[in-house]
Amino acid sequence: MPLTFDLNNYRNLLFETAPKVIESDEECEQALTITEQLHFEKNRLPEETALYLLLITLIEAYETENYPMEPSSPHDILQHLMESSGTRQADLVGIIGSSGVVSELVNGKRAISKAQAKALGKYFNLSPSLFI
């Protein structure tokens, strides 16, 4: 049986945490501490989930405004994924092409085709759009 949303409980949570637009790194850290606690809550109530999502939205807005990220190129993303997952170029041979093609893709000397992006997306369990 799904839990119902208790508006009074949510109001109490809002009163306790007093979420607002984040304006400093300290406020962001406070919000991150609360979201981390809520994230690992085993039997999180619907009201806690609503607060969690609200805080995530506020944190993302602050970080986007204050710490913008430059977009990464498809080959930078591929290199990062390979490094973080321990994938070698040889592991991608046959998935996206010959060893020469894989080397050119990884080193940014050749653009990743749509078919290769689809294969990489399937291999890394990610959206193929990351590689285009």
Q: What is the per-residue pLDDT for 71?
A: 84
| Cα radius of gyration (the chain) | 21
CATH class of 74-131: mainly alpha
Confidence at residue 2, expressed as pLDDT on a 0 to 100 scale: 62
* pLDDT tens track for 21-52: 999 999 999 999 999 999 999 999 999 999 99
For the whole model, what pTM was predicted? 0.58
Please say if the pLDDT value at position 1 is more than 60: no
What span, in angstroms and rounded, lies between the C-alpha atoms of 101 and 71?
A: 24
Beta partners for residue 97, in sequence order: 93
Instruction: For the chain, give the longest Cα–Cα distance.
Output: 63
* CA distance to 13, 91, 100, 130, per residue, from 104 (Å): 53, 15, 6, 18
Give pLDDT tens digits for 93-124. Answer: 999 999 999 999 999 999 999 999 999 999 99
Give ∠ CA 76-82-87 in degrees, rounded to 5. 160
- 44-86 residue pLDDT tens: 999 999 999 999 999 999 999 999 988 889 989 999 999 999 9
What does the pLDDT average to over 7-15? 96
For residue 97, report the phi and psi dihedrals to the nearest 5 degrees: 145, -170
Q: Alpha carbon of 12 to those of 33, 119, 129: distances in Å? A: 18, 49, 42
